[in-house]
A and B are shown apart, each in its own frame.
Chain A
Amino acid sequence: MAFLELENLTKRFGQQTAVDGLWLGVEKGEFVALLGPSGCGKTTTLQMIAGFVEPTSGAIRLEERDLLAVKPAQRGLGVVFQSYALFPHMTVTQNVSFGLEMQGVAAAERTRRVGETLELVGLGSFATRFPRQLSGGQQQRVALARALVIRPRILLLDEPLSNLDAKLREEMQIELRQIQRTVGTTTLLVTHDQAEAMALSDRIVVMNKGRAEQIGPPYEAYERPATPFVASFLGKTNLVKGVAVRPERIAFAAAGLAGTVRTRIFQGNHWLYQVDTSDGLLTVIRQNTGEPMPAEGAAVHLSWTTG
């Protein structure tokens, strides 16, 4: 039996089914992402684990114990909220220390662990600041430290990076992954950002309309999508005669499917093409190798191997 088990988990709000019979096992130390568009039930799932929402039916087991029988305050989970939900009237230290105080940890031990955790997230010198005096990225780190310091059985991340700008988000992805590896906490991430899910997690759960469409390692879900929804949600994809072909797998060749370049967009490390063919408009991504590339209006041939 897995560390965390969701068994036929279902949540209905009136007529609407938010989560529809979800089965999921998360191993100890694993990083799993719940990925899907808004309204797919991923956040509701997280809220049921955290205890803010009561499931309509199904069970949640943590280390083989029924988690639903435990009050939210006693579950011992670390949650990082999308808005960070820091305590605005407390300093960074007081924020991080709060959970330990609730556990009745002695003051000396508290100071030591808060210091350790702040070092871990790189905020050692910001201990006496208030949240308002920190940047978005720093607030994010405080939220992470506050969740980690209580040594949670599971770390729940609710769209933790969505309020950061693109560059910072990428940096935080790498850092988040490193921190999670260091402390080894079992982690469940909720996100709508496929790049984030693939970058961070050991396995992703692609959700749609309350159901898990595919559960597997990111590479597998990307290369062998189980459903058309997964194929279209994870990255860009072309449907050629019912077969999904990734744009980066299509090459310009001497022979193959004939077409005309409609648009060409330069994106630094790669070129993004749209090519008119007898099979419709196909997206093609070619790496920028410094070679000359076909211009707009050029007649080209496309070839690819499926496998």
Chain B
Amino acid sequence: MKTAPYLLSLPALLLFAAVVIVPLGMTVALSFHDWGQYKGIVPVLILKNWREVFSDSYYGEMFWRTFRIALLVTLLSAVFGAPEAYILNRMKSPWRGLFLLVILGPLLISVVARTLGWALLFGGKSGLVNSVLLSMGLISAPLPFMFTETGIVVALTHVLMPYMVLAVWAALQRLDPQVENAAITLGAGPFTVLRRIVLPQAMPGILSGSVIVFALAASAFATPAIIGGRRLKVASTLAYDEFLNTLNWPLGAAVAVLLLLALVLIVFGANRWVERRYAQVFG
């Protein structure tokens, strides 16, 4: 009998359908409904919201900003996270555990708390770093951080870096330590070993870490909401505002669905590319 596996997975499938598939379908349907200040949501099938999202440059700018921030965060996480993972991998027993805790520690703290930490350090004139630098006379005006893209990128990189470190570390752990020695005996210097031997083998880890970080950065809500606020919106905070402030649910739904579609396309495309590129080599 082959029905047992299906029966066993049925409860999970039902739960998944009830809390993910159905609301998702409703959101997609919602994005085609009409809305007016006085008439509220009208359940008809029109393209008004989609036309607005695609024609109004206001939304284009916001999606472009979301993409730009996610890309920068991914790049920064890779640039800082990959070396961090390499060093971590080479550490000896007591230190490795300690530093792993330091790296993963932030994951144990709420994203909101971590982001508010940045706000406390850089928020306006009263932020700790700004007030110290101002009183020392090193700067004449507070460093712009709140409500800037730089601020969002820095805070998100801090929040999402552990995922990159973990992904790269997992890839490095599969690396045979003798492989580096083999390259050395063949005459390779330390830099060549890193560039030609270690980095290519860490690449699948860096790429899969990048996919995770990109997806999380593009869909992040708490950090852009706290640092960017209403003044500097990204796709997720935009959808939130349409839903809860303007009360234009259909338009918010269109934004949310578009963000989801773009992310699914990018993530699946990247994943397929990585798999195809490395299937032969690493399996």
Contact = CB atoms under 8 A, between A and B. Distances in A.
Interface of A: 50-52, 72-79, 81-83, 85-89, 98-99, 102-103, 130, 132-133, 146-147, 150
Nearest to B199: A89
A141 B197 CA distance: 20
Contact of A88 (B184, B196, B281): B281
Given A82-B178, A103-B187, 17 more contacts: A50-B181, A73-B185, A73-B187, A73-B188, A75-B185, A77-B185, A79-B181, A81-B181, A85-B178, A85-B181, A87-B197, A88-B282, A89-B200, A102-B187, A102-B192, A130-B280, A132-B283
A73 B189 contact: yes
Interface in B8-24: none
B281 A72 contact: no
Interface residues of B, number: 22
Interface in B249-283: 280-283
Would you call the interface of chain B mostly helix, strand, loop, or mixed?
helix
B112 interface: no
Contact of A146 (B186, B188, B189): B186
A85 B182 contact: yes
B201 A89 contact: yes
A98 B282 contact: no
**By CB atoms of chain B within 10 A, which of A74, A88, A99 has the most?**
A88
A300 B9 CA distance: 70
B148 to A, nearest CB: 40
What 10 A-B pairs come out closest when comparing CB atoms? A102-B187, A99-B186, A85-B178, A85-B182, A89-B200, A79-B185, A81-B178, A85-B179, A73-B184, A72-B184
Given A88-B201, A132-B282, A132-B283, A150 B181 contact: no
A11 B182 CA distance: 22
A112 B56 CA distance: 63
Interface of B: 176, 178-179, 181-189, 192, 196-197, 200-201, 203, 280-283
Nearest to A133: B280
17 contacts: A51-B184, A72-B184, A72-B185, A73-B185, A74-B187, A83-B176, A83-B178, A85-B182, A87-B197, A88-B179, A88-B201, A98-B186, A99-B187, A102-B188, A130-B280, A130-B281, A132-B280
Contacts of B179: 85-88
